[in-house]
């Protein structure tokens, strides 16, 4: 009798476990590395925005160990992609979230920090704003960069993507501290980890 009870308990335990694991949904995120090819984006001396965001995109995938998180790219090499090519891909894949990565530049070298843009013309404006707030909080906690907050902009990628989407400006190439951080191996790893940790909270 005791053994039978043990067997029943084991069966119940396994059934519960398999139910829990099959119930965990896969999160799909498209990372959109801005610019590419002949479009270099912002630059400072030998540092180019298109290369920095490609490098961080690759780090995000390499550092992701969660099998329930699927990360896709609009581009993973140095090619030019038009804006509608990006949103056509996004609307075909229909991910849970799009993060478009960029770095900033300003005439004023003291301007610094990261910021996230969302669009109030997006069908997913409410969810995008909620997620943007969560991500700026995560980046503020896990990097030394200054939080410039969540802002509105009518960017194509934000307006035309039919899913929650964010444009993340990672920092200013024109600011010495930001530049040192976003061009360093360690800084890029910390940024990537903060993004992965944020994505994991979507499930």
Smallest gap from residue 35 Cβ to Zn ion (A): 6
- The three-state secondary structure class of 43 is strand
Residue 36, interface with Zn ion (CB under 5 A)?
no
> Which range, of 36-44, 88-96, 124-132, 186-194, touches Zn ion by CB under 5 A?
36-44
Smallest gap from residue 74 Cβ to Zn ion (A): 13
Residue 41, interface with Zn ion (CB under 5 A)?
yes
Residues 6+ apart with CB under 8 A from 15: none
Smallest gap from residue 30 Cβ to Zn ion (A): 16
Helices (H), the chain: 2-23, 49-63, 83-93, 125-142, 156-160, 176-183, 185-200
Give residues 56-75 in contact with Zn ion (rule: CB under 5 A). none
Residue showing the smallest CB distance to Zn ion in the complex: 102
What is the DSSP code (8-state) at residue 39?
Answer: B
> Which range, of 39-47, 73-81, 141-149, 170-178, touches Zn ion by CB under 5 A?
39-47
Considering the complex, state which of residue 41 and residue 171 has its C-beta at the smaller distance from Zn ion: 41
Residue 34, interface with Zn ion (CB under 5 A)?
yes
Considering the complex, state which of residue 33 and residue 199 has its C-beta at the smaller distance from Zn ion: 33
> Which range, of 24-32, 83-91, 100-108, 131-139, touches Zn ion by CB under 5 A?
100-108
Which backbone phi and psi does 129 adopt, to 5 degrees? -65, -40
Residue 163 exposure: Cα atoms within 13 Å on the Cβ side: 20
Helix axes 125-142, 185-200, angle to 10 degrees: 140
- Find the binder of Zn ion among 59, 75, 102, 148 (CB under 5 A): 102
Considering the complex, state which of residue 41 and residue 96 has its C-beta at the smaller distance from Zn ion: 41
Using CB under 5 A as the binding criterion, the count of chain residues that bind Zn ion stands at 3
- The three-state secondary structure class of 100 is strand
Considering the complex, state which of residue 51 and residue 96 has its C-beta at the smaller distance from Zn ion: 51
Using the CB atoms, write b or e for 85-121: b if 16+ within 10 Å: ebbebbeeeebbbbbbbbbbbeeeeeebbbbbbbbee
Binding stretches for Zn ion (CB under 5 A): 34, 41, 102
């Amino acid at each position: 009798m005791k053994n039978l009870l043990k067997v029943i308990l084991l069966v119940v335990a396994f059934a519960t476990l398999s139910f829990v694991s099959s119930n965990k949904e896969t999160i799909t995120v498209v990372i959109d590395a801005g610019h590419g090819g002949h479009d270099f984006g912002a630059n400072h001396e030998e540092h180019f925005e298109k290369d920095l965001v490609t490098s961080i995109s690759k780090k995000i995938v390499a550092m992701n160990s969660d099998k329930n998180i699927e990360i896709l790219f609009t581009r993973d090499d140095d090619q030019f992609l038009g804006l509608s090519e990006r949103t056509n891909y996004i609307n075909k894949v229909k991910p849970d979230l799009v993060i478009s990565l960029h770095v900033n530049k300003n005439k004023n070298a003291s301007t610094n920090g990261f910021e996230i843009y969302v669009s109030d013309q997006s069908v997913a404006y409410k969810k995008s704003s909620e997620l943007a707030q969560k991500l700026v909080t995560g980046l503020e906690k896990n990097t030394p960069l200054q939080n410039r907050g969540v802002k509105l902009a009518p960017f194509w990628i934000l307006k035309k993507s039919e899913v929650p989407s964010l444009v993340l400006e990672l920092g200013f190439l024109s600011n010495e501290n930001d530049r040192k951080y976003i061009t360093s191996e360690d800084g890029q790893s910390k940024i990537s980890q903060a993004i992965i940790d944020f994505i994991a909270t979507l499930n």
